[in-house]
Amino acid sequence: MDLFDVYPVNDITIVKGLGSYIWDDAGNEYLDFYGGHAVISVGLTNPYYVKRVTAQLNKIAFYSNSIKIPLQVELAEKLGQVSGKEDFQLFLCNSGAEANENAMKLASFHTRRKKIVAFKKSFHGRTSLAVAATDNPSIIAPVNETDNVVFLPFNDQDALEDYFQEHGRDVAAVIIEGIQGVGGINVAEVRFLQAIRNVCSEHGAVYIADSVQCGYGRSGKFFSHDFAGVNADIYTLAKGMGNGFPIGGIIIAPEIKAKYSLLGTTFGGNHLACAAALAVLEIIEGEGLMANAEKMGNYLMDQLKAIKQLENVRGRGLMIGFDVPESHKDLKKNLLAKHRIFTGEAKPNVIRLLPALNMGRKEADRLIEAIKEEMV
């Protein structure tokens, strides 16, 4: 049987990882500024994480949501404490798309409405409603096309308020990434997030903060939406939550009430996934990784801004993007081939940096030196 060929891959076979370093099958070492697409939060093969997940695996990995799973309660408590959303509720699933799917579905159940407001350049996943709320027609199958989703311009407060003025009573939810990832590292302005909070409160719509890529401490705060100083009604999580173990979740404001069978999943919240997510939170807290993301993010941004050929250096914490000029369009390829550094990209010309939250000065300097060498 052949693999279904949907991924253009680099010709590299990785056999080992540790912290921000990766080794291939020929023994070559690479520096990781991609984090497997923002998934690696506490570093590859983090020893504490490995120990906690292994210990759980030796006890029990999975049993269904039909029995008590105290690890879920422990995770909800820890997540509430580390994120500061202690009075919210947690529903666990397996991926980012599933988190957004459940969030929008829950908003529709809660409001009994159908319209979803999303934004230009958004990416929310590949399942039916998540992909319909993603601003990329090429990945929306005919069966996923719907008039229930409307795309407004990002960071345009007037357009948002005008839309709500006319259609507010039909809107179930507004869904927005605090920092657009796939769309090219576009930071939602504080006043725009505050305006979303206002229109949602005024018109009884649900504010969904897609934190799948920009959450879990990556921005320097637990949620990048926290920079606006307002609460969303639902936060969606995945990627960094399990440091590579598949787990997602939504955290839900107290006014949205649960009822049996409203949401459900077979694998979501299994013992092993909860152990992985707890290990991640314990490391983020114990090692002060949000503070490190802020510090190293500021350092990297300053260094990048000093490289005159790079344009529009932007982001927060360790979610950074910059535009590469046409004259250096092979930068990403060269960083990997010549300097053995993994970075991310966004079409057409953005380099995205999404390293582990515990990367240090040594790693930052190696990246900056490599970029400078490429710029001459």
Ligand X SMILES: Cc1ncc(COP(=O)(O)O)c(C=O)c1O
119 binds ligand X (CB under 6 A): no
123 binds ligand X (CB under 6 A): yes
**Which of 107, 212, 283, 350 lies at the binding interface for ligand X (CB under 6 A)?**
212
124 binds ligand X (CB under 6 A): yes
* Contact window for ligand X (CB under 6 A) among 23-31, 103-111, 123-131, 226-234: 123-131
278 binds ligand X (CB under 6 A): no
352 binds ligand X (CB under 6 A): no
* Surface-to-core class of residue 267, CB atoms within 10 Å of its CB (0-12 exposed, 13-18 middle, 19+ buried): middle
52 binds ligand X (CB under 6 A): no
251 binds ligand X (CB under 6 A): no
- Sign of the torsion formed by the C-alpha atoms of 328, 329, 332 and 335: negative
Count the alpha carbons within 13 Å of 143 in the hemisphere toward its beta carbon.
3
101 binds ligand X (CB under 6 A): no
CB 338 within 8 A of CB 367: no
Q: Measured from the CB of residue 351, what is the shortest distance to ligand X in angstroms?
A: 16
Binding residues for ligand X, total number by CB under 6 A: 14
184 binds ligand X (CB under 6 A): no
181 binds ligand X (CB under 6 A): yes
* Whole-angstrom distance, CA of residue 75 vs CA of residue 97: 21
Q: Measured from the CB of residue 175, what is the shortest distance to ligand X in angstroms?
A: 9
97 binds ligand X (CB under 6 A): yes
100 binds ligand X (CB under 6 A): yes
125 binds ligand X (CB under 6 A): yes
Alpha helices per DSSP H over the chain? 35-38, 47-57, 70-83, 96-111, 128-132, 157-167, 190-203, 271-286, 289-305, 331-339, 361-375
Q: How many CB atoms lie within 10 A of CB 163?
A: 18
What residues have CB less than 8 Å from 352, skipping those under 6 apart?
A: 34, 181, 184, 185, 319, 320, 321, 343, 344, 345, 346
Question: Token pair 């990832």 is at which residue?
Answer: 181
321 binds ligand X (CB under 6 A): no
CB 339 within 8 A of CB 32: no
**Which of 95, 111, 186, 219 lies at the binding interface for ligand X (CB under 6 A)?**
95
Alpha helices per DSSP H over 171-286? 190-203, 271-286
- What is the contact mask toward ligand X in residues 7 to 46, using x (rule: CB under 6 A)? ----------------------------------------
**Which of 103, 106, 238, 346 lies at the binding interface for ligand X (CB under 6 A)?**
238
Q: Write out the two tokens for 129.
A: 């409603």
* Surface-to-core class of residue 53, CB atoms within 10 Å of its CB (0-12 exposed, 13-18 middle, 19+ buried): buried
Q: Measured from the CB of residue 183, what is the shortest distance to ligand X in angstroms?
A: 9
**Which of 107, 182, 272, 277 lies at the binding interface for ligand X (CB under 6 A)?**
182
**Binding footprint of ligand X on the chain (CB under 6 A):** 95-97, 100, 123-125, 177, 181-182, 210, 212-213, 238
